[in-house]
Amino acid sequence: MSSAAALQVDYAPASDMRSRPPAWWQDVLAVVRFDGSGDAPWLDGLPLTEVNVPVLAADGGAAEVWRLAGPMQSGQHGRVRYRHNGRLLFASLTICEAEFARGDDDAAAGDAAGALRRATEAGYREMFTALETLAFPYPLRIWNFLSDINAISGDGERYWHFNGARQDVFIGLNRSIAGNVPAASAVGIAPASPLTVYCIAGTRTPIAIENPRQCSAWAYPAQYGPRSPTFARACIEDDAARTLFISGTASIVGHASAHAGDECAQTREILRNIRALVGSANERVGGVRYALGRLHYKVYVRRPEHQPSIDRELRRELGDALRVLYLRADICRHDLLLEIEAVGTPEPV
């Protein structure tokens, strides 16, 4: 498959989008804007997903731009906005937890756990209904952004409540919660921000990849929450393009967090995990098709002051041609300082 037909992603300053000519937008599948502000008339009808998360080491916000050979079709199904080219679909929704608070009960207890669970269930049900209706039933990669991910609410962390609600929807819709599940990430954003979920989905079941250095997320012991997260460590698009999606990857070995308090050591451990995933992906497709240096990286950083040292570690390993976007976000465990995700296409045969 030619590079023109393969899914491609780029990270660019949001201001650069304004100067693009109309022809440039024809093969744009999706635009996700981080830390943006104001209207975006330059999109001219193309769905825009906005995530309330600060961009680090960049001025004026940044855009994540997904490109794929067209022609494209855009639309909206309930709250879900989408765009597709017949092979792959991008879909997103934003949903406010306040809409799901039940009178004074949640507020009086200072407990938004129920609202978060109901919002998550509603959002995921709407997303999956849209995917099924549009005939793209297989999500390859899902991104989740929720506020106060580490905060205690009710009888546990908000991330635990999110995991429980997400898993309930998978089970209720007869979707697998282990094995062949989508790649995913879930990070924390500013308080009172809406829950934002976006995904890339296809018409064929993805190829799930696990990391031999890590316990599968769906098999985590109960110390990390009463319900395990529902995601694969990576997924490969089961198509000639063979796009590789690496989930949000942290400094975890087995199921335990490693190198507490040391962002440089955590970065190096994450790279070992990503290297192992790339190796597993190469084994699955046969031959050395994927390489760390060909991937595009997105790094979620808990403490902005750590970004320069994280960047040095990455460039030491991957070189100055590193393609990376840094975002300020909270990670699913208190002792994790960063999380890295990646996407890339294989070397041509």
- Catalytic (active-site) positions: 339
CA angle 173, 176, 179 (to 5 degrees): 170
Q: Look at residues 284, 347, 340 and name the one whose alpha carbon lies nearest to residue 317.
A: 340
260 DSSP 8-state letter: T
**What residue has token string 């962390």?**
157
User: Which amino acid, 5?
Assistant: A
| Structural contact between residues 235 and 209, judged by C-beta atoms closer than 8 angstroms | yes
Q: Give dist(CA 194, CA 190) in Å, integer.
A: 9
Residues facing residue 209 across a β-bridge: 234
User: Which amino acid, 52?
Assistant: N
Name the helix (H) or strand (E) containing 324.
strand 323-328
Name the helix (H) or strand (E) containing 283.
helix 263-285
**What residue has token string 């949000």?**
248
Buried b or exposed e, range 197-236, using 16+ CB within 10 angstroms:
bbbbbbbeebbbbbbebbbbbbebeeebbebbbbbbbbbb
Q: The tokens of 255 are what?
A: 């199921």
